[in-house]
Amino acid sequence: MTKLAVYPGSFDPITNGHLDLIQRGLRIFDTIIVAVAKNPAKQSLFTVEERLEMIRVAVGDKPRVKIDSFQGLLVDYVRSVNARIVLRGLRAVTDFEYEFQMNMMNRRLEPEIETVFLMTGLPWVFLSSSILKEAAVHGGNIEGMVPPYVFKQLKRKFGQE
Ligand code: ADP
């Protein structure tokens, strides 16, 4: 049996923190599906296609990492790909409350699916896509926080190129 995990998120855009988590996840799971959540209610900077493309470039050639998108309930998606495990990252304690609530709801909806949390690498503890965008929009130097392709896309999006 191969261990398959779904790593869901907005990835708007993918950061080095997300990549660190994927790297850690690969030590535990055979295959990870990075799944971009299509959430029309949530305002995003990049389209789902742009986000998928940035993940593809950032992940590179790793046959154990698959990239996909989904709409609707996470547990339905997880079931549809025959997975039983959801992978999520924890940074500071501030993530805990939200992740706890979401986990309880998902467990209630689908008791067969477990969520596994991994702690982020120390350099990425304070890195979130939203903080990153906030710095980038004002011309802050975000080099080293995102993969080079994402860096370029952010510059382009904010007309800094
Ligand atoms: P969501 O909108 O679902 O929170 P995100 O793209 O912000 O989507 O995050 C997806 C997942 O990646 C979450 O589990 C989040 O905790 C994790 N994550 C985000 N930033 C980091 C980081 N710097 N280090 C480790 N995990 C992270």
88 C-alpha to center of ligand 1: Å?
7
Atom of ligand 1 nearest to the CA of 39: 2
Which mutation among 120, 127, 133 tests ligand 1's pocket best, with the greatest number of atoms within 8 A of CB?
120
Per-residue model confidence (pLDDT) at position 92: 82
The domains located in the chain, with CATH, are 4-125 (3.40.50.620)
- At 8, the pLDDT band (50, 70, 90 cuts) reads very high
Cα(161)–Cα(156) distance, integer angstroms: 6
Mean pLDDT of 116-136: 94
What are the C-alpha distances in Å from 124 to residues 27, 37, 115, 145? Answer: 19, 22, 21, 8
Query: The pTM is what?
Result: 0.95
Mean pLDDT of 17-44: 96
pLDDT tops 70 at residue 35:
yes
The mean of the pLDDT values for the chain is: 95
Per-residue model confidence (pLDDT) at position 60: 96
Catalytic residue ranges: 18, 42, 91, 129
Per-residue model confidence (pLDDT) at position 1: 66
Atom 2 in ligand 1: residue holding the nearest Cα:
10
Q: What SS3 string covers the chain?
A: CCCEEEEEECCCCCCHHHHHHHHHHCCCCCEEEEEEEECCCCCCCCCHHHHHHHHHHHHCCCCCEEEEEEECCHHHHHHHCCCCEEEEEECCCHHHHHHHHHHHHHHHHCCCCEEEEEECCHHHCCCCHHHHHHHHHCCCCCECCECHHHHHHHHHHCCCC
What own/partner pairs with CB < 8 Å and gap ≥ 24 does 92-99 have?
Answer: 92/125, 92/126
Mean pLDDT of 83-90: 97
Cα(123)–Cα(113) distance, integer angstroms: 30
Per-residue model confidence (pLDDT) at position 64: 98
